[in-house]
Amino acid sequence: MDWTQTFKTEAVCRIFAVSKRNIQYWTEQKLLKPKMKTGKAFGHGGTIREFSMFDLVIVGVMVGLRRKGLSLIKVRKVMPYIVAKLQPAKFDGIRLNRMRVKVRSRTKKIRIVLKVRDILKRIETKTKRRTR
């Protein structure tokens, strides 16, 4: 897996089966921080978001938490802690592969465990299909 590879919004939407609007909203709310490229060099005056492999892992965690039933408000509260936990292993695929994201709620009996390895496998399989 190439850790220097970047992905556009369309690719991220395809990989995780989310809408472009979700990605835009999460970026506007500063839950995601992709590189932003603007200008007429792209054939239009709009903005292009480029997501790194680490950004894709963060998107995968967010999508996983949302699909497990966490509200966006709760996801917003836990994401800084999750990003801080994942940050040291940002470019170390082996360490990142072994990590788990655990979320517990005191009010509800919620315990969510997401394996980063599963997110990385999803990214790899979805991107391989397109390159063949």
Report the CATH number at residue 27.
1.10.1660
C-beta atoms surrounding 71 within 10 Å = 10
Share of the chain above pLDDT 70, in %: 70
C-beta atoms surrounding 46 within 10 Å = 10
Share of the chain above pLDDT 90, in %: 17
Helix, strand or coil, per DSSP, at residue 101 = strand
Of the segments 16-30, 34-48, 66-80, 87-101, which one has the largest average pLDDT value? 16-30
* Torsion from C-alpha of 24, 26, 31, 36, nearest 10 degrees: 0
Per-residue model confidence as pLDDT tens digits over 49-85: 899 888 888 898 899 888 888 888 888 888 888 888 7
Residue 131 in domain: no
Please determine, for residue 18, whether its predicted confidence score (pLDDT) is greater than 80: yes
Residue 19 in domain: yes
Residue 86 in domain: yes
Residue 60 in domain: yes
Find the length of the chain: 132
pLDDT score, position 105: 62
Q: Regarding predicted confidence, which is higher, 49 or 43?
A: 49
Residues 6+ apart with CB under 8 A from 115: 99, 100
Domain around 35: 7-126
Residue 2 in domain: no
* Mean of the per-residue pLDDT values of the chain: 78
Helix, strand or coil, per DSSP, at residue 1 = coil
Residue 121 in domain: yes
pLDDT score, position 67: 86
User: What is the number of domains present in the chain?
Assistant: 1
Residue 1 in domain: no
Residue 81 in domain: yes
